[in-house]
Structure formats: C-alpha cells, structure tokens
Amino acid sequence: MHITSSRTPDFKKSASTTGGKFSHKFVLGICSAAICLMILSSNVLAIPLTFQGTAAEREGMPNPEQESSVSQANQAPTRFNLDSIATFSFGTNHGSDCWGWQAPNGDQYAIMGIDAGIVFVNATTLQVADTIPNVGASCVWQDMATVDNYCYSVSECGNGLMVMDMSFLPDSVHFVGTFPINTTGGMSSHNLSIDSLKGFLYLDGSGGASRNVYVHDISNRENPVFVTGFGSNGSAIHDFYANNDTVYVAEGSPSSYSIWDLSNKAAPNLLTRWFSFSGGYAHNIWPTEDGRYVVTTEETPGKTIKVWNIENLGNVNLVAEYLGSSQLAHNVQIRGDIAYVSHYQSGVYMIDLSRPSCAEEVAQFDTWPSGNSSGFAGCWGAFHSQEPTVCTTLRMKTARCLF
C-alpha cells in the first residue's frame, strides 16, 4: 500500500487509506519534506562490508573470527526487506531531521522538521495530527527529540529551544514556549540530545568556535534551566549523543570525536578525544547499546561510515568501515544490533553490528530514485520506533513524509 496526499497549509488532514490502524515499528527518515513509512519483513542472507583503509590502517585491527559479538550471536544476521506503505507530502517545504514517539495508547507518531515548523504524523492511523509553527523565521535545519509526553526542538534560524506538549494527541499538540539556549540569549542551535535517564537536555550553540554543548535541566519539563556548557575544540561542534551522564561528541572540521563524563555538571571531564585518519567532517556519532563501540559519519563525499572500538579510551581503534552507493552518508542511529543510516541519495541503510568488525548491510531502501550522486538530496534522517515492523523515511528537497 502506498499513499500520497497533499496538505492544506496547517497540514492537519487525514491521509486516505485502505486499511485500519497500523501497530508496527517504524524507522523514521527525512530529506525532502516527506515522511515515508515502511514495512519491515525478513528473510535470510547478509552482505559483508569490507574495510576500506590502507594496509597500514588495517594492521592491528581485530580478527573478526576471534571477536565476540555485541549480542553474543555467531550466526549470520537476518536480512530485511523495506517496503513503503504510505507517503505524506508537505508542499514546497524542505524536510530536515525526524524523530518518533509512542503515545500511552500505543499509537506511533512520526515527528519531522519542515521549513515552517514541526509536523506530527500519526503513523498508526496514517493521519497528520498537527503542525507547530516556528516562533520566528522559516528554517531548513531543524532537530527534535522527545521525553515523556514532551517534544523539544531547535533550529539554526533563531527559534530557540521550543517545548511542545504531546499529551493531547491524537487531537492536537500544545506549544508550551521557547527558551534561550544559553545565558547570553542565544536562540540558534543545530542539534539536541536528551539524557532521559538523568533528566538533562544537551544542545549546541550555532556559530563560531564558541559553538559548545550547552546543558539544560529538564526535571521540570516545561521550564528548561541552563546548567553549564563545555566542549570547545576550536571548532563548531556539530552533533552529540547523551546517555547516563556520558556525552559522545562529533566535533566538525577538525575531524575529531570526544567522549565526556558529565556526572559532575560543574566540572565536565574530557575522557578521550581522537581524530579520523580520513580527514572528513566529523558530523555524527552514536554508541552501541553495550557501550563498547561507536559509529560515526563524516558527511563528506567518499568518506566512510566508521565503527570504532572504545573499550580502551586511551587507544580508540577503527574496526570497520562502510559507504553506500551514493558515496555520501549523513547520520546514523543505533537500536539493538542495527545501525540505521540516512545516506542522502542512497536512501536508508540498515547495518548489522552484532559482530562490529564484520558489520554487514542487511537492508536498503531508496528514497531518492531520481538520482544517486553525492549531492545533498534524498534521506536526511532515519528513526527506528519501539514496536516491530514499520520504518519511516523522509526526504529533503521538498517536504514529504514517507512510511
């Protein structure tokens, strides 16, 4: 089933569908102001990824046959099929990043940034639930994350840290307010991450070498309170992932990554910093669930997705690389043993990490069939939901939501 529907300016319309409610897992992706929801089915077989470094770079890398897996499973991973079941378009808006949320009643929601604001799509009933407009300027670059029934978003266009209450869904989303990102009144940010275990939200400042990571206490969900900032490496920090007081940072143009201990917010502690030998733009970083590895992307044509062993923080080692056919990867998220990669014109990739030094591609879905170059079009982001079986992907040139 494939559904495409045009939207009125407030985008709160229902998509036509031949089925009833969907109760599936979805991976959400973005990159042309479109959300695409995909069924996830499986058969067997897998395609091994090859390490693309030089002989010198390969020297000392672990032997895949001797490595214990993340899941302690030695069998070949399952290969999946991704099939689109619905597409929602949002006019001439660009699409940016995306997230997902499960309501208390079990309904799954796809959340997506478009030029005009933040769109909420009920992925269970295939309806556009609401759109929260930006408080200020229209913006291509939006990022969002959720905790409990709240969604937080930032943009590079001066909209501040926007707080939205989703507890009124499926009827509507309520705008709570917008807040400065730091103590100097900054209102622009590129990315955010929520440490839901500790109750803190992390975001970056936009512009110049002062683009540090800023920390907000969100124990009061509707009133974020600035706590501290950290992380300058003489560059504009680009992305980060926060969990249980550990923060993994992609530091941009120095092609460096760092890991921080934030258990003492008054004294952030740098645990390690390392550099990518390839010299790309350190764009994105995400740890495996066991904390032994991180996967990074560099958003630079020809620069690979990299898997790093971080068990010894004094000696971070590259163990595997991968690059899809368009030669330009954007972001990665990890759920279980699977890395979900938004790969611009190549679409979405699923990479099995159960044996990290033998990472294997197990699925791919092309969200941009009109091309496959290393240009900035196609899939911006991908998110994997809680329930089994459905993926969502969004695109970037025009606002569409793909399920």
Q: Which has more pLDDT, 138 or 32?
A: 138
Looking at the predicted structure, is the pLDDT value of residue 7 above 90?
no
pLDDT at residue number 288: 97
Region 173-194 average pLDDT: 94
Phi-psi category of residue 199: left, alpha or beta, with phi > 0 → left and psi -120 to 50 → alpha: left
Percentage of residues in the chain having pLDDT higher than 70: 74
Mean pLDDT comparison of 106-115, 220-229, 366-375, highest-scoring range: 220-229
- pLDDT score recorded for residue 130: 97
Domains of the chain as residue ranges with CATH: 4-54+77-402 (2.130.10.10)
Segment 368-373 shows an average pLDDT of: 81
Q: What is the DSSP letter of 77?
A: P
Q: What is the pLDDT of residue 234?
A: 65
Identify the band that residue 102 occupies on the pLDDT scale cut at 50, 70 and 90.
very high
Q: Provide the 8-state DSSP code for 137.
A: S
Confidence at residue 206, expressed as pLDDT on a 0 to 100 scale: 58
What is the average per-residue pLDDT within 111-134? Answer: 92
A 10 A CB-CB count for 19 gives 11
Q: How confident is residue 85, by pLDDT bands cut at 50, 70 and 90?
A: confident
pLDDT band of 69, cuts 50, 70, 90: very low
Write down the pLDDT at residue 270: 95
Nearest to 208 by CA among 186, 224, 240: 186
Per-residue pLDDT of 264-281, as tens digits, reads 999 999 999 999 988 899
pLDDT, position 36: 66
Give the model's pLDDT for residue 35: 65
Mean pLDDT, range 353-369, rounded to an integer = 88
Residue 209 has pLDDT above 70, yes or no: no
Rounded Cα gap, residues 268 and 12, in angstroms: 43
Under the banding of pLDDT at 50, 70 and 90, the label for residue 400 is low
Q: Where are the beta strands (DSSP E) in 31-184?
A: 32-43, 47-48, 79-89, 95-102, 108-114, 117-122, 127-133, 142-147, 150-155, 161-165, 174-179
Mean pLDDT of 202-227: 85
| Residue 322: pLDDT over 70 | yes
Does residue 49 carry a pLDDT above 50?
Answer: no
